[in-house]
Amino acid sequence: MEEPVLVLPGSGPEALANLAIGCEACRRCSLSAGRRNVVVSRGNPQARLIVIGEGPGAQEDEAGLPFVGRSGQLLDQMLESVGIDSNRDAYVCNIVKCRPPDNRKPTALEMAACRPWLEQQIALVDPQVLLLAGATAVEGLLGIKGGITKLRGQWRAGEGTSLQGRWLMPIFHPSYLLRNPSRERGSPKWLTWHDLQDVQRRLLQLQAAS
């Protein structure tokens, strides 16, 4: 039988600290056996933006923090270029909290096992905007497979309990951008920069309206 999700009581920062304790004890899927550290989050739990990636790589597993390796550095730089500081203005996490061996894509079962943690993170941070970095983030959160080239840059209105009332923006994963470094007009990096500008615009509009 699948291990239940440990939910400790509390609200605000206490609830997120309790969530981290629950994640550290989690053995809901076999990824837990190979982890050095559970990678729960970094950034600002009060941010209006959540960035969701795929899962920890080697450096994240080592540090216990998401997006601290090369792709994280690129993500930070690109966010910074549109005025978003990833630690001040965003809460950063992943679809799965433990590193998949050899950095393979997490399986559907692993994503499903980890989902209750992600849903709690979204509920507790209560962001207006979710940035989905890469196809696996889109699949893990929305159940939509493949086609990041078509999905990126298109706003989606969140549906269902944890996403209702929130805006979602899929983008290319930064590791894909590391493999495709051209900044030419129409290149993946150029498109992502425009997507991030769009995200910053929407955050400012939502702030002005509230």
Q: State yes or no: residue 67 binds ligand URA (CB under 6 A).
A: yes
CA angle 138/143/147 to nearest 5° reads 50
Q: Which of 18, 71, 86, 192 binds ligand URA (CB under 6 A)?
A: 71
Nearer to ligand URA, 32 or 71 (CB): 71
- Please give the Cα distance from 114 to 157 (Å, whole number): 23
Min separation Cβ 40 and ligand URA, Å: 11
Compose the 26-55 pattern: x for residues touching ligand URA by CB under 6 A, - for all others: ---------------------------xxx
Q: State yes or no: residue 100 binds ligand URA (CB under 6 A).
A: no
Strand arrangement of the beta sheet that strand 42-43 belongs to: 42-43, 90-94, 49-53, 129-133, 167-171, 156-157
Q: State yes or no: residue 140 binds ligand URA (CB under 6 A).
A: no
**Phi first, then psi: what are they for 144, rounded to 5°?**
-95, 125
- Please give the Cα distance from 136 to 56 (Å, whole number): 12
Q: Which residues bind ligand URA (CB under 6 A)?
A: 53-57, 60, 66-67, 69, 71-72, 94
